[in-house]
Amino acid sequence: MTLSLRRSMMPRLGVLVLLTLAFFYSAAQTDDDAVREINEHRQKQEKEFRDPDASPLEKRDRKHFKGLKYYPIDLSYRVKATFVRTENPVLFKMQTTTTRQPEYLKYGEVHFVLQGKDYVLEVYQNPVLSQREEFADYLFIPFTDDTNGEETYDVGRYIDFKIPKAEEVIVDFNLCYNPSCSYSPRFSCPIPPAANNLPVEVRAGEKRFKETSH
């Protein structure tokens, strides 16, 4: 799956560089392994952003690109969660940054504790993408938090996910990223539903690219 596709959840031709979905960990993974995965994930992002065939950046921004901005890695934002599958999910239209309204399924929920408080985030599946072999197990978690509009992109950020094989999963906010529309108005990006607002500062993952948003 390409970074640009993951960021916009909208397939685009000509994007050639594939990234490994490095977001999904086993509970047995060590802290050193987790830090290594996060750093590798960021290095791959940086590489793709410099690739004219894959980058979501406008040409003028790519020319002066000096790297993405991230919070320091903080494994307190790498949380154990319980995955709860949604029974009989119903298609719904998700709002985007344009007039496009793609259909999604609420595939399930992740229940977790962050900074001593209980939270729930909904996990979504794009049924059209899921028909393609490379996206058969792909899910995603769009969310908002109290850093949006300040240190992070106004619309929110995304976390990639896989259909889990067990109830216990890991959600790593160090791997959350900005949608492509934060870099260019060429993209149409899902807006996180109200149910996925976290009333807390998630100071992990990718920061906003510019001081002003598109």
Whether residue 202 is contained in a domain is answered as: no
pLDDT at 6: 53
Q: What is the pLDDT of residue 26?
A: 46
Determine, yes or no, domain membership for 108. Answer: yes
The answer as to whether 201 is a domain residue is no
Q: What is the pLDDT of residue 28?
A: 53
Residues of the chain with pLDDT under 70: 1-28, 211-214
In the chain, the number of structural domains is 1
In sign, the C-alpha dihedral spanning 54, 57, 63, 67 is negative
Separation between Cα atoms, residue 90 and residue 33, nearest integer Å: 37
- The reported pLDDT for the residue numbered 7 is 57
Asked if residue 170 lies in contact with residue 25, where contact means CB atoms within 8 angstroms, the answer is yes
> pTM of the entire structure?
0.86
For residue 40, what are the domain limits?
Answer: 3-196
Q: According to the model, what pLDDT value does residue 8 have?
A: 59
Assigned domain for 32 exists: yes
Decide if 44 is inside a domain: yes
